[in-house]
Structure 1
Amino acid sequence: WYYLVYAFAGLAVLTKGPIGFFQPGLIILLFLVWRRDLKALLHIKLFSGLILFLAITLIWYGPMYAMHGSDFVSQFIGVHNVLRATVSEHPQFNVWYYYSAIFLAGFIPWVFTLPLAWRDYGLTRKIAAAWREKRLRLPALSMKTQFLIVWAATIFVTYQLMATKYMTYTFPYMIPLAIGFASYLKKYDRLVLNMAGIVLAIYVAATCTVIVPQCQQASAYDAAQVVSGLADNETAVVTYGGRYPVSLTYYSNHPAYRLEQADDIANKLPGGISWNAKNVMPFMAIEDLPNHPKVLAVVRDRDEAHFLQEVPGNWKWRTQKGIWAIYQKEADL
């Protein structure tokens, strides 16, 4: 079983980076500290297990370092691990209550059973007693419950301390919460069935009526079909405003350039440990557009007015697909 753990840790590191090893390792360590059982570390096949772990991870990390050297270290380790942890990619989400709010929304409907658990465990009475005695008495917990608590709490605190916040970072601590809630709620089988049925119906309805249409609106798939019909091999396809739509190039089979002022391009190219590492799309200077007689511009709809003011040329609106408006450059009069 230990070797299976090291193997899956290796797969986790291949999937998500070094955190795939350090986070489960920290969970196990804190669990053993709570259990006062650090001597268990002597029996976890550490040396041979790490050899297996390295054999799996070096399948990818080895060739990447051999091919890219320090660039691989600075970009993959520096940007996508260290920078994410220390500098917020989305500063507006870097607030103390972010993951608490995600838990309350993401753990629906089971979050509504919290008052039930509060009552069943008599927490009001226990908190009042602790207040009177000025002493917190921890309840006797099974080893399984201790492990689930450490698992959930470690992931929650770890990612709360990280500067970059993502909804998907909550998934690993949803697993122990789900196991714990299932263990508690098994005595309320009728309640569980009713809540699960209602929420499943709501999720299916919301997926079909809200989520799928919103994804289609944001995707450039439909815009790519228009581009495929209008562009030929001499047409320059450019994008303006919003996030760069990778799906435009993928589905249209035409490289799409991100329009920027010539003086700004150098400051947005990848290099060093910065968020520019994400700008791997090709750029085109707005000043170079006159050199291209055939141009199709895919513009974020909320940036259309700015586009028409900033980008010179006679632009003809062709259509709009989702959040993307398509403009075609016409010959100068």
Structure 2
Amino acid sequence: MTKVLLIIIIPVIFISFFRLGSITLFDVDEAVFAEATKEMVQGGDWITPVYNGENRYDKPILFYWLMAGSYKVFGINEFGARFPSALASFFLALSVFFFVRRFSDEKGAIHAAGSLVLSMFFLAYSHAAVTDMALTLFITLSLFSIYLSLNEKRSYIYGFYIFSALAFLTKGLIGVFFPFGIAVIYLSVTEGTAGIKKVFNLKGIVLFLVFSTPWCIAQIATNGREFVQQFFIKHHFARYTGVISGHRGPVYYYIPVLLAGLFPWIAFLPAGIRNVFDRENLELRTLNSGAGLFALIWFVFIFVFFSFSTTKLPNYVLPAIPAIAILISSGMHEQDKWRRYSNVFISVMALVLSIGFVLLEKYISRLGDYDTGWTIAAASIMIAVTALGIYTVFTGKGYYHVLSFLTIIFFFTLLTKVLPDANQYLQGTLYRYSLYAKDRLHQSETYGGIIAYRMNNPSIVFYSDHKVINVRDRNKLLPFLSDNRILIAIAKMKDVETLKVLGFNLLENDGRYALLERK
């Protein structure tokens, strides 16, 4: 058992924590959470998150508290901001492992946890200072609890309610809707409508209210109607029925998202789904049939819900990934033609990706002086995956351990080569400009402020350590020009001429962003 745990724990620790604080925060979400939590720690308001001096109602309070605790331990920095997500990913992987082992075997548990951990979804969101990994952990623990309460001890139902409350405090009503909706559908399918009553427990409801309502009551007492309007209506119902921040997508949006986010393991999902309904080959199903059906309903519920949501983002579907990993673990046990199909898919996709990485090298070289050697390394890894897949198609032998090793090497390449360059390209200039503004304004007694002209980049607020004046057009900028105070402006190159006319001098630009000053 100790050896098996090490097989899981070592890759999880590596993927979750390796180079966690090595790059600057990305705009928009990472930086806005990090800055709002910084203002919470510095300002002492632990009820209402504040960003750039204004109340922020986008998300509930729990993730801010977790990040604030991390700041207290590690300091206000990138590692401290990302640590809660990394820690949540660690516990998520372990919970999936132990759940599947309970209803399958150690091999199935390794496959489930492995397909979860060795996925782009896990790599990305374990390293992101956003709510999604914490939300996924709490929803997963809630659903595991309800399943255990139905199959083992009834007292597990309390975990269902407690973790649902924590999910609510992490990202709102979705943290309640998903666990209850999935549980109700599962019981309706397995026991009929009479079984639905097993979801409800008076003591559990009391526990849910004890955990979830104090913050809401405090918010309503403090901010009243503004909180209800912004938090519940705008950021819950309007987000589902309307497009927020331009994040729309077609109904099939999450199909390519899942293919990319779970490659190569997604290839075994069809076999795993087949196993849920297969009545003739029961010996193939190492996963408890009830757990398989539960995972399928879990996956389909979230997938369909967000597929028909007007606002779409890749991270929305993250709470379904543990369920998909459980189904994948079942599919990876196959010894028949389904495994051949899976390996053909992996080979073809890996070959396409290898060609894509070669073409990407030419594109990146046009962007600037960036190291493109990693594209050849990535292409080589994908060619190796292609060769292994072809070998397995003809021999029928498994190669999961080799595929896992190649995936880890690929992730190492991403974390050490790709991510730093991507961060430098996307955030490097804004980071330098923010530090300049911070130093310049600290030195001046006639400081007027920092202007973000027609931009929404919270990283400027975080790294400049100043409140930033967000200006959307020329007329709204004019009132700030009425005196002789020093103003620092950060803008896109297309707006430089407008700012020059208003008395700003261009200090520096990188072709995309410009730093200007008005004395």
TM-score, structure 1 normalization:
0.78
Give the letter aligned to residue 464 of structure 2: S
Provide the residue aligned with 1:256 in structure 2.
468
3-state SS in 1 of match to 2:450:
strand
Provide the residue aligned with 1:276 in structure 2.
none
- How far the C-alpha of 1:200 sits from its partner, in A, is 1.8
Provide the residue aligned with 2:130 in structure 1.
none
Provide the residue aligned with 2:413 in structure 1.
205
3-state SS in 2 of match to 1:291:
coil
Give the letter aligned to residue 316 of structure 1: N
Residues 158-237 of structure 1 mapped to structure 2, 5 A cutoff: 158-186=305-333, 190-219=398-427, 220-231=430-441, 232-235=444-447, 236-237=449-450
Measure, in 1, the Cα distance between the counterparts of 2:509 and 2:499: 20
Residues 1-333 of structure 1 mapped to structure 2, 5 A cutoff: 1-44=156-199, 46-91=201-246, 93-113=248-268, 117=271, 139-140=278-279, 142-186=289-333, 190-219=398-427, 220-231=430-441, 232-235=444-447, 236-242=449-455, 244-261=456-473, 285-299=477-491, 303-309=492-498, 312-320=501-509, 324-330=513-519
Pick closer, same or farther for the CA change 1:45–1:30 going to 2, 3 Å: closer
Give the letter aligned to residue 77 of structure 1: F
Of 315-324 and 61-70, deviating more is 315-324
Question: Is the CA contact (8 Å cut-off) linking 2:438 and 2:464 kept in structure 1?
Answer: yes
3-state SS in 1 of match to 2:256:
helix
Pick closer, same or farther for the CA change 1:121–1:247 going to 2, 3 Å: closer
- Count of residues in correspondence between the two structures: 289
Which deviations, in whole Å up to 9, do the C-alpha atoms of 1:225-276 show, x marking residues without a partner? Answer: 111232224222111233x22222222222221123376xxxxxxxxxxxxx
Pick closer, same or farther for the CA change 1:92–1:256 going to 2, 3 Å: closer
Measure, in 2, the Cα distance between the counterparts of 1:194 and 1:60: 48
Measure, in 2, the Cα distance between the counterparts of 1:320 and 1:192: 48
- Residue ranges of structure 1 left out of the alignment (5+ in a row): 123-137, 264-283
Pick closer, same or farther for the CA change 1:32–1:113 going to 2, 3 Å: closer
Pick closer, same or farther for the CA change 1:82–1:17 going to 2, 3 Å: same
Larger radius of gyration: 1
Which deviations, in whole Å up to 9, do the C-alpha atoms of 1:146-204 show, x marking residues without a partner? Answer: 11110000000111121111111111111111111123314689422122211221122
- How far the C-alpha of 1:314 sits from its partner, in A, is 3.7
Measure, in 2, the Cα distance between the counterparts of 1:310 and 1:100: 44
Aligned-residue sequence identity (percent) comes to: 23
Kindly report structure 1 stretches of 4+ aligned residues shifted beyond 6 Å: none
Give the letter aligned to residue 197 of structure 1: F
Of 310-319 and 26-35, deviating more is 310-319
- Residue ranges of structure 2 left out of the alignment (5+ in a row): 1-155, 283-288, 336-396
TM-score, structure 2 normalization:
0.51
- How far the C-alpha of 1:72 sits from its partner, in A, is 0.9
Of 10-19 and 33-42, deviating more is 33-42
Measure, in 2, the Cα distance between the counterparts of 1:183 and 1:156: 19
Give the letter aligned to residue 296 of structure 1: I
Measure, in 2, the Cα distance between the counterparts of 1:246 and 1:90: 15
Pick closer, same or farther for the CA change 1:42–1:290 going to 2, 3 Å: closer
Of 165-174 and 249-258, deviating more is 249-258
Give the letter aligned to residue 327 of structure 1: L
Give the letter aligned to residue 186 of structure 2: F
Which deviations, in whole Å up to 9, do the C-alpha atoms of 1:259-296 show, x marking residues without a partner? Answer: 23376xxxxxxxxxxxxxxxxxxxx5235325344221
Question: Is the CA contact (8 Å cut-off) linking 1:261 and 1:286 kept in structure 2?
Answer: no
Measure, in 2, the Cα distance between the counterparts of 1:208 and 1:166: 26
